Amino acid sequence: MSGTVMLRALALVILAVAASPARGEDDAMRTIYASVENTLRREYDELLRDILFGKGGAAAKSEQAQHTLKVIYYNKAVMFAMCAGEAERVRSPQAPRVPAQRNLFLTTCVEQKFGELHQFSSALSYAGIFFPDRIERCGDASRLHEQEKLFAPYGFLQLAEPKLYDFSRYNSCMITGKIDGAAISPAAQ
Dihedral, CA atoms, 104, 36, 76, 148, nearest 10 degrees? 110
Burial (CB < 10 A; 0-12, 13-18, 19+), residue 173, is buried
The residue range of the domain holding 38 is: 3-188
Query: In tens digits, what is the pLDDT along the chain, a chain of 189 residues?
Result: 455 555 444 443 444 444 444 346 788 899 999 999 999 999 999 988 888 776 656 655 678 888 989 999 999 999 999 999 999 899 898 988 888 889 999 999 999 999 999 999 899 999 999 999 999 999 999 999 999 999 999 999 989 999 999 999 999 999 999 998 888 865 544
pLDDT at 98: 86
Name the residue type at position 174.
M
- Let me know: does 71 contact 49? Beta carbons within 8 Å: no
- Let me know: does 88 contact 28? Beta carbons within 8 Å: yes
Exposure string for 54-72, b = 16+ CB within 10 A, e = fewer: eebeeebeeeeeeeebbbb
Exposure string for 6-32, b = 16+ CB within 10 A, e = fewer: bbebbbebbeebeeeeeeeeeebbbbb
pLDDT at 163: 96
- DSSP letter at 36 equals T
Our count of domains for the chain comes to: 1
Closest CA to 139 of 167, 103, 180: 167
pLDDT at 59: 58
